[in-house]
């Protein structure tokens, strides 16, 4: 099945697509963009959003549809490296129907009398004035793609490239849907998932689907994911790739390579568009020994319709565990509700029917439903619940990766994860080696100043979550564990995770995602503000009864600033007194 590539398509075919050559156009042909991999390892620049509107979105095309092929250049002198180095500056991002212009110059400042520029592969409708070195173009309704224009200085033969991203303007009158998904590889600098399927997806099981990603086609399976969030109008998904055709993102994600499954996390309940990424990055920075989940931001189109901005993330499975030195046949248990508290009692004080209440088994054998499937987890819970102080102190670092679980408490109180102090976590165990148990965080949108329903949380609150998780209670009750743990907490606040480190991370997310975030917010903002209203036909009130009662909704820019200020205030509060 190996990754097939779409054929190069001519993104034209309508009247008036011939280049207006006027006098001296300086063009050698009119090819369409071709699909090609992104620039080697370079980080696409999201650029500045245009002032155009998209009836709810300002798209942002990134590196993508490949360099238009202008054919073999005519004769002329052989290239003279570095004499001119033609350039037209940074990539340009516009909506279909918006004008774009650029002036070609020599990067070196070379300005000999015979200096003359041409563009080998002008898109249909574009003009190049060789006398002034100026490109001008208003992309048509069917030209959404990423165009790599070859700039040539004739006296030296040197070439450069101008990248022009033309974003789909779906709300424009008479708009033509994206003609070639293989050429629409990015939007405002972020990679685009073009997912297509017949009928609809469900959360009950995978269904056949097709994906075009950076010019490559995959036949795969897809499903919705999420329990409480199943009522969102913009849902999370899991994509499952064939063993012989695994997924790789070559630029973003810090090594997002050969993935069997990829999770697309909805940002519907986070209009800062960065909480999940920020939380996972904080966890990764805490210790190189942690099980790291890689993430990046991407845009989703489903059946050629814009859906929005998502967080692409690792899927917790045997491959992720194997990549971190845990046997691929190890067990993984997911904490799915607040009964996953390592106690014999539920939070309301009533006895549990079994010690694995609140957990699902996601990996390992025996599988869930078979006898003994939860035996290791039940033994761990019994140890935490029943051991005396001396036995817990001795057994804790033997049974569990102490750094993982101490850092869980630090991490969760730091980000104020009010929905991840017991649930929304994975616990991995290798029966062949007898452990130690490893912790993996998950589902972290309820953090950095908001709860799961977007209601606000105080940056000066200092909960310990002892009542929610008996493991936290046992660790905090032992001075030999709690003392060094709090010293590590202070050191992280001072050094590895100081407030400026967090602000720099936010700077990076904003630079990458702002144009795409504005487009997403324009599409979903009204639905976000009204979500959970009992009169809303889209529902959501049952799972999120307080959401619509908020009186403090923010725009995208305001929410980003809210997160920045929340972090500054919280870090200051924690530096003065830890939980």
Query: Per-residue DSSP letters for 481-510?
Result: HHHHHHHHHHHHHHTTT-HHHHHHHHHHHH
Alpha-carbon torsion (268, 272, 277, 278), positive or negative: negative
In a domain, 111, yes or no: yes
Give residue 397's region: left, alpha or beta (phi > 0; psi -120 to 50): alpha
Tokens of 517: 């975030």
CA–CA gap between residue 319 and residue 139 (Å, rounded): 44
In a domain, 505, yes or no: no
Neighbours of 281 (CB within 10 A): 22
Closest CA to 188 of 291, 311, 92, 305: 92
Please tell me whether residues 153 and 197 are part of one structural domain. no
**284-314 burial by CB neighbour count: b if 16+ within 10 A, else e?**
bbbeeebbbbbbbbbbbbbeeebbbbbbbbb
Which of 176, 205, 235 lies at the terminal end of a domain, its last residue? 176
In a domain, 474, yes or no: no
Least reliable range by pLDDT among 57-61, 234-238, 387-391, 547-551: 57-61
Tokens of 251: 């630029």
Radius of gyration of the chain (CA): 27
Q: What is the mean pLDDT of the chain?
A: 89
Please tell me whether residues 126 and 164 are part of one structural domain. yes
Average pLDDT over residues 192-200: 97
CA–CA gap between residue 424 and residue 318 (Å, rounded): 18
pLDDT in tens, 388-402: 999 999 999 999 999
Average pLDDT over residues 517-536: 95
In a domain, 403, yes or no: no
CA 82 to chain centre: 38
In a domain, 66, yes or no: yes
Please tell me whether residues 142 and 198 are part of one structural domain. no
In a domain, 237, yes or no: yes
Residue 333 DSSP label? E
Tokens of 388: 């005396």
Percent of residues, the chain, with pLDDT higher than 70:
86
CA–CA gap between residue 330 and residue 206 (Å, rounded): 23
Strands (E), 200-251: 207-213, 216-225, 236-240, 247-249
pLDDT in tens, 439-466: 999 999 999 999 999 999 999 999 999 9
Q: Residue 98: which pLDDT band, with cuts at 50, 70 and 90?
A: very high
The pTM of this model reads: 0.86
pLDDT in tens, 267-280: 999 999 999 999 99
Please tell me whether residues 130 and 231 are part of one structural domain. no
Range of the domain at 281: 190-314
In a domain, 22, yes or no: yes
The CA angle 508-553-302, to the nearest 5 degrees, is: 60
Neighbours of 324 (CB within 10 A): 13
Q: Do 568 and 473 touch, CB atoms closer than 8 A?
A: no
Average pLDDT over residues 173-188: 97
Least reliable range by pLDDT among 12-21, 38-47, 110-119, 478-487: 12-21
Please tell me whether residues 162 and 22 are part of one structural domain. yes
Please tell me whether residues 67 and 168 are part of one structural domain. yes
CA–CA gap between residue 240 and residue 323 (Å, rounded): 18
Please tell me whether residues 17 and 140 are part of one structural domain. yes
Which of 176, 202, 221 lies at the terminal end of a domain, its last residue? 176
Q: Residue 228: which pLDDT band, with cuts at 50, 70 and 90?
A: confident
pLDDT at 43 over 50: no
Q: Residue 33: which pLDDT band, with cuts at 50, 70 and 90?
A: low
Strands (E), 443-494: none
Please tell me whether residues 305 and 240 are part of one structural domain. yes
Please tell me whether residues 167 and 196 are part of one structural domain. no
Which of 148, 176, 204 lies at the terminal end of a domain, its last residue? 176
Please tell me whether residues 40 and 121 are part of one structural domain. yes
Residue 233 DSSP label? S
Average pLDDT over residues 337-365: 97
In a domain, 18, yes or no: yes
When divided into structural domains, the chain yields a total of: 2
pLDDT, residue 538, reads 72
pLDDT at 523 over 90: yes
Please tell me whether residues 27 and 166 are part of one structural domain. yes
Is 218 exposed, middle or buried (CB count within 10 Å of its CB: 0-12, 13-18, 19+)?
Answer: buried
Please tell me whether residues 7 and 118 are part of one structural domain. yes
Q: Do 135 and 162 touch, CB atoms closer than 8 A?
A: yes
Question: Which domain CATH number covers 107?
Answer: 2.60.40.10
CA–CA gap between residue 98 and residue 474 (Å, rounded): 61
pLDDT, residue 77, reads 53
Average pLDDT over residues 46-71: 37
């Amino acid at each position: 099945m190996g990754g097939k590539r779409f054929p190069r398509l001519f993104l034209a075919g309508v009247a008036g697509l011939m280049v207006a050559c006027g006098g001296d156009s300086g063009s050698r042909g009119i090819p369409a963009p071709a699909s090609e991999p992104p620039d080697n390892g370079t980080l696409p620049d999201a650029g500045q959003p245009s002032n155009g509107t998209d009836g709810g979105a300002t798209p942002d095309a990134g590196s993508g549809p490949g360099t238009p092929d202008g054919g073999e250049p005519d004769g002329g002198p052989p290239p003279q490296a570095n004499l001119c180095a033609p350039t037209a500056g940074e990539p340009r991002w516009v909506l279909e129907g918006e004008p774009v212009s650029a002036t070609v110059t020599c990067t070196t400042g070379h300005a000999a009398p015979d200096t003359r520029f041409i563009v080998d592969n002008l898109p249909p409708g574009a003009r190049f004035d060789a006398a002034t070195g100026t490109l001008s173009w208003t992309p048509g309704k069917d030209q959404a793609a990423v165009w790599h224009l070859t700039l040539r200085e004739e006296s030296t033969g040197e070439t450069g490239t101008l990248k022009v991203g033309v974003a789909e303007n779906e709300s424009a009158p008479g708009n033509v849907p994206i003609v070639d998904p293989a050429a629409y590889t990015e939007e405002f600098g972020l990679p685009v998932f073009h997912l297509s399927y017949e009928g609809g997806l469900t959360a009950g099981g995978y269904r056949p689907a097709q994906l075009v990603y950076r010019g490559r086609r995959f036949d795969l399976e897809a499903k919705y994911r999420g329990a409480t969030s199943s009522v969102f109008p913009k849902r999370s998904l899991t994509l499952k790739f064939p063993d012989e055709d695994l997924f790789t993102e070559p630029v973003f994600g810090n090594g997002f390579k050969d993935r069997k499954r990829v999770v697309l996390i909805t940002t519907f309940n986070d209009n800062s568009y960065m909480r999940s990424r920020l939380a996972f990055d904080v966890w990764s920075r805490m210790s190189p020994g942690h099980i790291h989940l890689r993430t990046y931001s991407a845009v989703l189109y489903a059946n050629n319709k814009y859906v929005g901005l998502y967080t692409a993330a690792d899927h917790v499975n045997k491959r992720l565990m194997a990549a971190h030195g845990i046997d691929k046949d190890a067990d993984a248990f997911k904490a799915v509700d607040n009964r996953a508290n390592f106690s014999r009692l539920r939070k309301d004080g009533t006895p549990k029917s079994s010690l694995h209440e609140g957990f699902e088994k996601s990996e390992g054998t025996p599988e869930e439903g078979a006898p003994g499937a939860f035996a290791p987890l039940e033994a761990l819970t019994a140890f935490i619940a029943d051991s005396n102080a001396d036995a817990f102190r001795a057994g804790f670092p033997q049974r569990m990766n102490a750094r993982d679980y101490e850092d869980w408490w630090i991490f969760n109180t730091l980000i104020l994860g009010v929905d991840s102090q017991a649930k929304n976590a994975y616990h991995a165990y290798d029966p062949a080696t007898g452990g130690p148990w490893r912790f993996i965080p998950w589902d972290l949108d309820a953090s950095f100043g908001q709860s799961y329903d977007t209601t606000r949380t105080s940056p000066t609150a200092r909960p310990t979550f002892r009542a929610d998780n008996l493991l936290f209670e046992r660790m905090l009750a032992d001075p030999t564990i709690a003392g060094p743990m709090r010293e590590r907490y202070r050191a992280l606040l001072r050094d590895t995770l100081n407030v400026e480190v967090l602000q720099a991370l936010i700077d990076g997310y904003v630079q990458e995602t702002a144009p795409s975030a504005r487009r997403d917010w324009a599409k979903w903002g009204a639905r976000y503000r009204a979500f959970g209203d009992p009169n809303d036909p889209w529902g959501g009130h049952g799972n999120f009864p307080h959401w619509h009662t908020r009186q403090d909704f923010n725009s995208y820019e305001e929410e980003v600033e809210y997160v920045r200020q929340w972090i500054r205030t919280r870090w200051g509060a924690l530096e003065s007194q830890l939980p």
